[in-house]
Chains A and B, each alone.
Chain A
Amino acid sequence: MGRFVARRLLQMIPVFIGTTLLIFLMVYSLPGDPIKALFGSKAADPATVERLRHEYGLDKPLLQQYWNYLTGLLQGDFGKSFTGRPVADLMKDAFPVTIRLALLAFGIEVVVGVALGLLTGLKRGKLIDQIVLILTLIVVSIPVFVIGFLTQFTLGMKWKMITPTVQDSMDIGQLAVPATVLAALSLAYVTRLTRTTIGENLRADYMRTAIAKGLPKRRVVGVHLLRNSLIPVVTFLGTDLGVLMGGAIVTEGIFNVQGVGNTLFRAIQTSEGPTVVGIVSVLVIVYLVSSLVVDLLYAVLDPRIRYA
């Protein structure tokens, strides 16, 4: 187990370096000069441009810049954004908001998704199954930004149940609606996935044995069926936490949540290289760590899976 974790952690290093290099090269080879952009429409003073370019290390070759960035990153230095503010500072404001939003969405997705999947899987073919299936199809088909607008329009403007945009990004109560919108798509997937695996496992021999042994239904469903059916669901959920944090770009934009998505989107639009690379690096770490957790969870759910 310990050796497995160590090996996986080592394997993460090349992937982390590769992903950050990829995003670094893409962001910094963009046309347009971020330094000149700082001057707005005024003519830039060549000496100042040169000085700033040197200060940000933009006068060095791209790979050298990347190397400097990476060594800085290892010492916890995310660099400075072109507006002069340290990127770490920007992230300190944005990440707590998005982590709340993403965890809230994740919770909704797990609880409601697995419950609905279990319900429909057990009542396969019944009316409730058909209704939930059609609802999930509808949710999957409507793009998130449309769902967001519709929620904002109905709940916020027509019925005045919520304020159309979030006033205080740290307030869990106000984040509930954006989190539901953010969770909607994955929620539908989790429901469908759970339903399918429950349906498959219902026919398994061990289920017949468990029922034949006279175990109470709670135990058959809760321990035997659910535990065996959760492996594909956990795989999906594991990659989803990172997706939720990255996918918050749209939801945060619509509901004006001051989180990572908003910051990242603004940074992409204004070619704020250091901010984009910094945020994406953190998102990649979240993604890598959650896929490791998923691998470890396999062994918990299915004791036949062992890591030497």
Chain B
Amino acid sequence: MPEKTSPEASRSTVAVAAGGAAELTEATVKKADQNKPRSLGQDAWRELRRSPLFWISSVLLLLFIVMAIAPGVFTDADPRQADLRGHYLSPPNWSHLFQADWFGYNQQGQSVYARTVHGARASIIVGICVTVAVTVFGGLVGMLAGYFGGWLDTLLSRITDIFFGIPLLLGGLVTLQAFTHRTVWTVVLGLTLFGWMQIARVMRGAVITQKEADFVTAARALGAGTGRILFRHILPNALGPVIVVATIALGGYISTEATLSYLGIGLQDPVISWGVDISDAQKNLRDAPHTLLVPATFLSLTVLAFILLGDAVRDALDPKLR
């Protein structure tokens, strides 16, 4: 009866064979030391470091993230303190940098600058949390559908199709209407529920192209379990396109949150949100355009920063575009 080779044994055979090959080509390897193979991640990082877009967007994002975590760094004015008599719709003082009256006051007599700085938190939290939730959930669905195929794929793909039939904004509206008291987390829930499909499709496609690859067959031959193959071998290789789609979508989620808040079905009063402030400012568009333009500019810059970052990451991760 032939002895069954243990996975360890066969692995060491492979290692020995590889070692032999390495010895044979040692000279070539030494010569090409500078070009030693890099992982996709390292490769992408090298590419990213050289991209001016990446640095511009990173600096912008860092600024907004600091604003979200510690608004006190930028202003010590209270965003909720309203002084109607003194400051009703007073215009901006462009020379008073970083002071409460820098961008003027809104129709409640609240500092537009303070409110805009404090508004970053809601947008950033919604954007990042929805993206993470969507990537995890959509990624899981896509991975299962792509890897197992068959009836599971059919079922999951049809469910994806069904959710795809309802646009994100519409789905968000209907979901959030159900909550009379809405916080950042309800908005995250509403957007995740109707935002995961694109990631699922991208992930499914990526997994299908990866699962027939030789390294998967090799891993299976070495006795790796399904979980190991999926998460250690296929996932890292399929993650590239998913990261790209997720980063670009992040800006879109922030924009959708603001749209929902603007329509009055997103965030509500105790939370300070750019969308709500823009919505409130529309009544005073004629007399005090600054109350609308300032939060709108910050909102647009945040979305822009994430889109630029997504573009830079895509250029870095996709060797075809180089």
Contacts and interface: CB of A to CB of B under 8 A. Distances in A.
Contacts of A4: none
A253 B263 contact: yes
Interface string B6-25: 00000000000000000000
B162 A15 contact: yes
A250 B307 CA distance: 22
A58 B242 CA distance: 43
Nearest to A17: B162
A151 to B, nearest CB: 11
Contacts of B265: 268-269
Contact of B165 (A19, A30, A143, A247): A19
B299 A143 contact: yes
Nearest to B292: A149
Contacts of A140: 251, 303-304, 307
A22 B178 contact: no
A145 to B, nearest CB: 5
A243 B300 CA distance: 21
A14 B158 contact: yes
A64 B300 CA distance: 46
Interface in B288-307: 289, 292, 296, 299-301, 303-304, 307
Contacts of B263: 249-250, 253, 265
Given A15-B161, A141-B304, A149-B285, A280 B177 contact: no
Main secondary structure of the interface of B (DSSP, over half): helix
A19 B158 CA distance: 10
A169 B303 CA distance: 32
Interface in A136-167: 137-138, 140-146, 149, 152-153, 157
Interface string A14-37: 111011001100110111000000
A22 B160 CA distance: 12
Contacts of A247: 167, 169
B175 interface: yes
Interface in A240-271: 242-243, 246-247, 249-250, 253, 264-265, 268-269, 271
Chain A interface category by residue count: 35 or more
Given A137-B308, A141-B251, A146 B300 contact: yes
Given A30-B178, A142-B300, 14 more contacts: A15-B161, A15-B165, A19-B162, A27-B174, A138-B304, A141-B300, A142-B296, A143-B300, A157-B286, A247-B167, A268-B173, A271-B177, A280-B170, A288-B165
Interface string B224-257: 0000000000000000000000000001000100
A15 B170 contact: no
B9 to A, nearest CB: 48
Given A15-B161, A18-B158, A26 B173 contact: no
B292 A143 contact: no
A218 B289 CA distance: 48
B88 to A, nearest CB: 20
A298 interface: no
A269 B163 CA distance: 22
Contacts of A287: 165
Interface of B: 158-159, 161-163, 165-167, 169-170, 173-175, 177-178, 180, 251, 255, 258-259, 262-263, 265, 278, 282, 285-286, 289, 292, 296, 299-301, 303-304, 307-308
Nearest to A27: B174
A265 B173 contact: yes
Nearest to B160: A15
B315 to A, nearest CB: 11
B162 A143 contact: no
Identify whether the interface residues of A are mostly helix, strand, loop, or mixed.
helix
Nearest to A271: B177
| Nearest 6 pairs of A and B residues by beta carbon | A18-B162, A141-B304, A19-B165, A246-B167, A146-B296, A143-B255
A233 interface: no
A222 B301 CA distance: 37
Interface string A37-49: 0000000000000
Contact of A143 (B163, B170, B258): B258
Contact of B166 (A19, A141, A269, A271): A19
A26 B194 CA distance: 12
A26 B178 contact: yes
A158 to B, nearest CB: 9
A242 B163 CA distance: 14
Contacts of B296: 142-143, 146, 149
Nearest to B177: A268
6 contacts: A22-B163, A26-B174, A30-B178, A137-B308, A144-B259, A253-B263
A284 interface: yes
B167 A243 contact: yes
A249 B177 contact: no
A22 B180 contact: no
A36 B161 CA distance: 36
Contacts of B165: 15-16, 18-19, 284, 287-288
